[in-house]
Amino acid sequence: MKQYLPYTLIGIIAIAAVFLVVTASNYHEKTLDERISFRKKDKIPYGTYVAYEGLKHLFPGASISANNQEPGYWDSLSNYDGGQALIIVSPVFYADEFEMKKLIRFAENGNDVFISTAIVSDEAKKIMNCSISYLNMFDFFDSGVEEEDTLRVSLTNPPFRRSYSYVYPGKRLGCHFYKIDSSTTTVLGRGDNGAVNFIHLKAGQGNLYLHLAPMAFSNYFLLSDRNIGYYEDILSIIPQHTKTVVWDEYYLQKKSSSRGRGRDNSKGWLSALFKYDSLKWGLLTAIFALLVYVLLEMRRKQRYIPLITRPRNDSLDFVKTIGRLYYDKGDHKNLCRKMAAYFLEHVRTRYKLSTTVLNEDLIKNLQFKTGADETEIRNIVFFIRDMEGAPVINDHQLIYFHKRLESFYNKI
């Protein structure tokens, strides 16, 4: 457990640091969150939480749901039944020709399609036979910053009962029509300087509405002053007996991949991955686990050192074994011959003396070269010389000879 202690301490310190940072951030002065999301679950100023939740009160008998699928492939809407409504609120409406045909066919079956957006695709403008002015409108996608301006909108009377001018001090993100087909289009609302920004087109048994001030559905706008009345009035054009109302967020997803035309979408895949909470937390957990694994595996590992036994002196064991063999056999004379032969070989090899004749000359020369006691050398030499003439060698003689040799070897 001690080897994991440093990593445990590092983890505790990191958690404490994060806690301190989060705690300290709570003391900072709160600022307005200026992100423009238009998502139904976002309670930030420019989310649409209030608008989506308000549908339950405007259409109490209807089934309320959300959609992320492209037109014609809805989960909660039928392409053939009537009495349904599709509400699209998005900063951009990049519908292609195929999608527009699907939406119009859906409306022709007795349904309502309400679109609130600031930028409309060329295909959609062509089919609805209108032209839109983007004059003085900020470049929403290039700069990512909305000009601080006042949004002012109103509804025409008739068909609406109230013709108030609704204002809020937030981001504008709006434009207006400068050309419409008056023979097929009904004006329902206006913006700054009385410019048309809300129209109605009849499609078979249903209706198609195009509104060019999507910020009017933001939380900030609806909670400002009496602006909730604008929301209630503008959606009152959808029949109250509508059976199904679907809030569409498909074009919130599509805007990052459809606005292209030479623009950089390199971050789109990362946004798509982190869009789903389950997938996002799964990826973050996997990355954290991988990081912990790498940190743990970075530590130095000691290789197992095998137990090495002390080398045995096999030569000594061999000598002892041979000695026991000769001793147990009782052939002391033969053993003495072997000991004598080893001694003479040692004298010849190390001291370069001839051992052919065992006489006084050998004794004196050996004493001179070794410095050993002359009497001791003489006893060894004479024992070897006289050993061959003896019929047997007893135990005492063998021990005597062995001691003389050991004494000689230890002194040189």
Query: Domain check: are 251 and 356 in the same one?
Result: no
Rounded to 5°, angle at Cα 238 from 233 and 244 = 130
Domain count, the chain: 2
Cα(187)–Cα(158) distance, integer angstroms:
10
412 close to 368: Cβ distance less than 8 angstroms: no
Hey, what are 332's tokens?
């002391």
Query: Domain check: are 344 and 249 in the same one?
Result: no
Domain membership flag for residue 264? no
Query: Domain check: are 247 and 363 in the same one?
Result: no
DSSP code, position 371: -
CA separation, residue 209 to residues 85, 104, 113, 180 (Å): 11, 11, 6, 13
Give residue 215's pLDDT.
95
Q: Which residues of 72-110 are buried (b: 16+ CB within 10 A; e: fewer)?
A: eebebbeeeebbbbbbbbbbbbbbbeebbebbbbbbebb
Q: Of 206, 235, 256, which residue sits at a domain end?
A: 256
Query: Domain check: are 206 and 337 in the same one?
Result: no
CATH code for the domain in which residue 105 is found: 3.40.50
Query: Domain check: are 60 and 149 in the same one?
Result: yes
Query: Domain check: are 320 and 252 in the same one?
Result: no
Give residue 162's pLDDT.
79
The pLDDT tens digits along the chain (412 residues) read 455 556 665 666 667 666 655 555 554 456 778 889 999 999 999 999 999 999 999 999 999 999 999 999 999 999 999 999 999 999 999 999 999 999 999 999 999 999 999 999 999 999 999 999 887 564 444 444 445 578 899 999 888 887 789 999 988 888 999 999 999 999 999 998 889 999 999 999 999 999 999 999 999 999 999 999 999 999 999 998 999 999 999 999 886 444 444 344 445 566 666 767 778 888 888 888 888 888 887 776 667 778 888 877 777 777 777 777 766 777 788 888 888 999 999 999 999 999 888 889 999 999 999 888 889 999 999 999 888 888 888 888 888 988 998 988 888 7
Give residue 235's pLDDT.
95
Q: For 334-348, what is each residue's pLDDT tens digit?
A: 888 888 999 999 999
Q: For 95-110, what is each residue's pLDDT tens digit?
A: 999 999 999 999 999 9
CA separation, residue 358 to residues 344, 370, 409 (Å): 10, 17, 19
Q: Of 256, 284, 304, which residue sits at a domain end?
A: 256
Domain membership flag for residue 326? yes
Domain membership flag for residue 295? no
Give residue 319's pLDDT.
73
DSSP code, position 148: B
Give residue 278's pLDDT.
79
Query: Domain check: are 158 and 87 in the same one?
Result: yes
Domain membership flag for residue 364? yes
Q: What is the biggest distance separating any 2 CA atoms in the chain, rounded to whole angstroms?
A: 154
Cα(305)–Cα(388) distance, integer angstroms:
57
Owning domain of residue 233: 30-256
Domain membership flag for residue 387? yes
Query: Domain check: are 81 and 211 in the same one?
Result: yes
Give residue 264's pLDDT.
44
271 close to 256: Cβ distance less than 8 angstroms: yes
Domain membership flag for residue 76? yes
Query: Domain check: are 226 and 114 in the same one?
Result: yes
Domain membership flag for residue 283? no
Beta bridge partners of 245: 64, 85
Give residue 105's pLDDT.
96
Query: Domain check: are 192 and 58 in the same one?
Result: yes
Give residue 250's pLDDT.
95
DSSP code, position 179: E
Query: Domain check: are 135 and 65 in the same one?
Result: yes
pTM: 0.57
Query: Domain check: are 166 and 240 in the same one?
Result: yes
Q: Of 206, 236, 256, which residue sits at a domain end?
A: 256
Q: Rounding to the nearest 10 degrees, give the CA dihedral for residues 165, 168, 173, 176.
A: 10
Q: List, in sequence order, the alpha helices (H) in 259-305.
A: 268-273, 277-297
CA separation, residue 45 to residues 49, 149, 169, 228, 307 (Å): 9, 15, 12, 14, 72
Q: For 179-204, what is each residue's pLDDT tens digit?
A: 999 999 999 999 988 899 999 999 99
72 close to 97: Cβ distance less than 8 angstroms: no
Give residue 312's pLDDT.
76
For 246, other C-beta atoms within 10 Å of its C-beta total: 22
Domain membership flag for residue 84? yes
